[in-house]
Every structure is written in C-alpha cells, then in structure tokens.
Amino acid sequence: MEFTIKSEKFEKLKPKFIEISNYIKDWINDRKPVLIKHHNDCDGHSAGIAMEMAILPLIKKNGGYTNKSYKRAVSRTPFYDYSDALRDVDSFAYFSQSPLVIVLDHGSTKESILSLNKLKENGAKIIIIDHHNPSKKEEGSNEVEDYVDLFLNPHTSGFGSEIVTGMLCTELARFINSNIEIPKQIPALSGTADKSNCDEYDIYLKNSGFDKAYLEKWAMCIDFESFYVRNYNSNAVRDMFEENERTKNSIEMISKVVENRFKMLLPTLHKYSETTNINGINYSEIHLFKFSQRSYFPTTSKVTSYFHKKIEGPKITLGILDDSISFRLGDVKYLTLHLLISYLKEKLPYAQIDGGGHIFAGTIRFAKGAKEDVLEESKKFIKDKNYIK
Ligand SMILES: [Mn+2]
C-alpha cells in the first residue's frame, strides 16, 4: 500500500501504519467490537470520520453492523478525561465484549494515563493515533506507551505536530480498507484547523481544490458546530464535512454569525488588552477574565488566536483567565511552552502549575491566587533571554 501523497515523513512512519492497520483488520475479522474516541474539534472529527469510513464497511461485511459492534464517541477535552473513561467503560457492557478503543487526536499526555489504565483494566485494547507532544519519561521512552497496545505519533519518530491527526488517519484509512477513498477536503480541513505548516499540508491543500481562506471558514464552522454539540456525538458535525449544497449554505450562514461576533469583539479586545515590547518581542496580554462569557463561541482560545493573528513580527500572546492562560507564540526561537511550564513549576511550587498542548500554542493552568506571580514570572522568563529568530 502506498500513501496518497509523497512524503519522507510518512515513509518513515510506514511500519507503524502497517502494524496498526493489520491489527485493526484482524480485530474486525474476529468480529470483535470497536470504539472510536476522538477529540471534539475539526482535526479530531476529520480523524474519526476517516477511520469510520474505513472500518464500518468492514464490520458490515463481516456479519452485520449493530450497536454491539461499533461506536464513535467524542471527547470534549484535549486529553482522555477520567469521567469519559468511566462512561466509556460502562458502555463496554453494551458491546459483545471489551472493545478495541481507538483514541484519536488526544491521549498522548500524562493526564490520560489513569483513564487509559481504566480501559485496560476492563479488558480493552488501545490504539492511540495523535500528533500532540507526548509526555516523556526520564529515560526517554513515552509515558503513555506503557498503557497502550499501539501508538502512532510523529513525535516518536523525531517529527513535530505538523502532520495532524486527520492527515494520519486519511492515510491509515486506506491501509485498513483499500476500497475507500477519503474525500480530499478531510485532510485539508484538519491541517487548516490545526494550523499545520509543512509540505504535506501544502499538497493536501492543493489536492483539495479549495482555497485556504475558504477552508479556514469551513473549519471554523465545524468548530462552531462541535462546540454546540458538546460531549455527545452528533451526525450534524459529520455531515458538515460533506461537500454539497447543504454544507455550502451552512458555511455561509454560520460564518456570517461568527464573523459578526468577532467584529463585535474588536472594541472589547482593544479596551481589555495591552501590548508592550519586550526584547524585540510583541508581548500581549488579553484580560479575558474581564469580558469572556461561559459557553460562548468564539471560545477564549479562539479569541486569543484571533488577536494573536493580528499582531506582526515576533510575538507572544497571553489570553488570561482567572486560573489559566492561553499562550500563543510566533516567530520566536528556543522558547517553547514546555520550557515555560517547567520554569514556572520550579519558580512557583505552590502555584499548582499544570498544562500543555503544542510547542507554540497551549494552556497553562494555575491556582487563582498565583495569577499575578505567574504573569510576572512569565515576563521575567521572556526578558532574561534573547528569543528573536
Ligand atoms: Mn489535532
């Protein structure tokens, strides 16, 4: 089996693709149940839909598809939350036996370990396919790998997060089921949503036949839809990936609403933000805690990205809430979110520092009382070194 695009990175990951696809095919051949669990965002859905397109026909061919043999469920959090694990384990009772759980676009970090272990204790087999930076054990092997049966993550082959989960699963789907073709917009939408920046993304983008601005709009609408379905699995989100009149109309309508909401935010952002220059870096603080609403789209994370995009040059943007900060880094070197987290943990041992995400985008959580200290130390961390590219 060949990949749909030419890529050295994919070639290096090929043994994993073969191993995982064989494992899934054998599992379905043995008529054992499958649970797909994916992150509730555009990339997570892309991955889940691609895998479903490959797996469902095989299950159907192999003795009929029932709700005892297959389920797709979403995870609202970017890690495998323990509440989800307990609920998923309860759902095992409806399957013919403990399922193969395929965890997509989350699960690589240590926050997921307790949950993965819970699944394992209850007889599940686990495959993780993800592009988030995995938590590391001291000796260098990946922490979560001890709790899962198979693990596909470009980071373990020395790559970054740029090959997103939707792209991985688009290719893996064909290894599992060569009869299917994943719609060209799926890997392009996943890469656009997760701001992938690599040759592979450029090829998927070109192959999709859509321009980037339209895909950005489309991905935003999928995120909008996902946001409002919350933690149940809705076909409304899946349908938004189809290329047809209905989707086109939805994109037009939803994007107008979203654009309007962003427009209304402009004077608010202007009033409740501050940008200063530290060591040649545009350092911005957005005081989200002064105006953000609960359960509202655009989310605080989207608002932070929106603001960040408007700033030029080397930049660091902080979207500040009472007990967490959304970080965005751009055009800086040596500085990563993980370095900042380790620094804060060491400097502020009482502050309950926690968090993660990607190297240049993610969230740091802390004790409310430590907010000013976290801000001060973050500034110090940036001041002390030269991070200009
Ligand atoms: Mn992703």
In the chain, the domains with their CATH numbers are 8-246 (3.90.1640.30), 272-383 (3.10.310.40)
Distance CA 364, CA 92 (A): 34
Residue 21's contacts (CB-CB under 8 Å, 6 or more residues apart) are: 1, 172, 175, 176
Q: How far is the CA of 181 from the centre of ligand 1 (A)?
A: 21
Q: How far is the CA of 216 from the centre of ligand 1 (A)?
A: 15
Sign of the CA dihedral running 60, 165, 109, 74: negative
Q: How far is the CA of 252 from the centre of ligand 1 (A)?
A: 24
Q: How far is the CA of 372 from the centre of ligand 1 (A)?
A: 31
Burial of 240 (C-beta count, 10 Å sphere; 0-12/13-18/19+): buried
pLDDT by residue for the chain (389 residues), tens digit each?
899 999 999 999 999 999 999 999 999 999 999 999 999 999 999 999 999 999 999 999 987 677 789 999 999 888 999 999 999 999 999 998 999 999 999 999 888 999 999 999 999 999 999 999 888 776 666 789 999 999 999 999 999 999 999 999 999 999 999 999 999 999 999 999 999 999 999 999 999 999 999 999 999 999 999 999 876 777 899 999 999 999 999 999 999 999 999 999 999 999 999 999 998 899 999 999 999 988 899 999 999 999 999 999 999 999 999 999 999 999 888 888 888 999 999 999 999 999 877 778 889 999 999 999 999 999 999 888 777 76
Position 138 scores a pLDDT of 67
What pTM, to 2 d.p., does this model score? 0.91
* N residues, the chain: 389
Residue 370: both structure tokens together: 């430590």
Q: How far is the CA of 49 from the centre of ligand 1 (A)?
A: 14
Distance CA 45, CA 286 (A): 29
Q: How far is the CA of 73 from the centre of ligand 1 (A)?
A: 16
Distance CA 66, CA 94 (A): 11
* Bond prior to 267 in cis (omega within 30° of 0): no
Q: How far is the CA of 123 from the centre of ligand 1 (A)?
A: 27
Strand arrangement of the beta sheet that strand 315-320 belongs to: 273-278, 281-286, 315-320, 324-330, 361-365, 354-357
Task: Provide the residues around ligand 1 (an ion) whose CB is within 5 A.
Answer: 43, 105, 164-165, 194
Phi, psi of 298 (to 5 degrees): -70, 140
Q: How far apart are the first and last CA of the chain?
A: 41
